[in-house]
Structure 1
Amino acid sequence: MSPELALTELRGGLVAVLWIAGPLLLVVLVVGVLVGIIQAATQLNEPTIAFIAKAAALTVALFALGNLLLGHIVEFTILLYQRIPHLIG
């Protein structure tokens, strides 16, 4: 395997990780900022509130986007297995 081919496969893996983890991280980021603003406005600085809100939002996002994300993982894995002969020889 040439270095260029290895870097291409590594890039494909990183792009797949961004497509899978990106929406979930974005949801947690938005909820964290909103909870932070509310806590700053009400002066209620309890870290448990932020954790519970982020965990609940992540669970809802996984239920909403789980099928799409799993489809992306399966598609990437199938394409990777189909490229094995090209990677070896």
Structure 2
Amino acid sequence: MNTSAVLDIGLQSLLIAAKLSAPVLVTALVVGLAISLLQSITQIQEMTLSFVPKVIAVAVALLICGNWMITEMVGFTQDMMNRLPGLLAGTVG
């Protein structure tokens, strides 16, 4: 296994991690921003008011995007398993 193969695997791993975490993180960010705006407008500073909607929104995002996330991860894993013999033999494939 050479340096370019290791860098390629590392890059693919980081890209798949970013793709899989994006729906959950963006959902939490948008809901958190909306709740913070609502709290600043109404001057209600209740901690559970920001926590509970985020949890519900993240759960909905996981329900909606979960199948796609699993499909992406299975595809990535299959690709890595298919490349493993070539990597162990020293060829890039």
Instruction: Give the match for residue 70 of structure 1.
Output: 70
Query: Structure 1 runs of 4+ off > 6 angstroms?
Result: none
In the alignment, structure 1 residue 53 sits paired with structure 2 residue 53: yes
Report deviation, 1:23.
1.2
**What amino acid maps onto 2:6 in structure 1?**
A
1:31 equivalent in structure 2: 31
| One-letter amino acid of the structure 2 residue matched with residue 6 of structure 1 | V
Uncovered stretches (5+) of structure 1, i.e. residues with no partner: none
How does the TM-score come out when normalised to structure 2? 0.92
Whole-Å Cα distance in 1 between the matches of residues 26 and 61 of structure 2? Answer: 10
Instruction: State the Cα distance separating 1:2 from its structure 2 match.
Output: 1.1
Could you tell me which amino acid in structure 2 is paired with residue 84 of structure 1? Answer: L
Alpha-carbon distance between aligned partners in 1 of 2:49 and 2:86, rounded to the nearest angstrom: 51
Q: CA deviation at 1:49?
A: 1.2
> How many residues are treated as equivalent by the alignment?
89
Partner SS, residue 26 of structure 2: helix
Displacement of 1:47 after TM fit? 1.6
Q: Which letter does structure 1 place at the counterpart of 2:18? A: L
Distance 2:38 2:76 in 1: 40
Question: Matches of 1:48 and 1:7 in 2, distance apart?
Answer: 43
Shift of 1:33: 0.2
Instruction: Please say which structure displays the higher CA radius of gyration.
Output: 2
